[in-house]
Structure 1
Amino acid sequence: MDISDQLKNLFPDHIPEENPIDKTEKPNYWMQEAPIICKYEKRKGKPITILEGYTGADADFKKLAKEIKSLLSVGGSYKNDTIIIQGDYRDKIMNFLKSKGFKVKRVGG
């Protein structure tokens, strides 16, 4: 017996939806005119990538930080309107942001 059959037995009056909610839907971010600055630094001898210059809502920037960290499978944080990613991933991050529709500017080497 399938789970859908079990649910029909438990809830005979329920009519299932035709289009279930797609949870893989891309979040919509506020797009800005000015580019996001992507730069590279070394702190305590460790390389980091810093993203700054987003003028939209903090919640959107936090979601973006989470997506970047999960895409690259690395650690990072969101502090003082900047995203700090552990490691030098400027090229991958810039390609990801461009695919989302953001303008990105590379600063430094």
Structure 2
Amino acid sequence: MNRNIIASESFASSPKRHYFLDFKLAENNSNYIQITRSDQQPDLTYKTSRVNVFEKDFEFLIQVFAALFHSAAYQHQQDVGMKEIREQLKSARGIKNWPPGAP
């Protein structure tokens, strides 16, 4: 195991595409998140793309993801306020569009 990885999660979106999300410790003892996408090529090699998000940007990243998911979830509803959202969430479980019992 890589010593600078504090926590790691991964998933496959298809048999030939995998994502890895790693919470890492940099050489200067700061934290960062590395998101890696790995695509299998026709010659069975892999093409890898990475994005690093450093600790000073974590709060911004979380805010942007929250705004993005909120906008996507309510894009077809006009004038939805926090009261309406809270009412909808009372009965909701899990992640929208995931089948019940999905991880």
In the superposition, the TM-score normalised over structure 1's length comes to 0.24
Determine which structure has greater relative contact order: mean sequence separation of CA pairs < 8 Å that are 6+ residues apart, divided by chain length: 1
In the superposition, the TM-score normalised over structure 2's length comes to 0.25
Greater fraction of residues in strand: 2
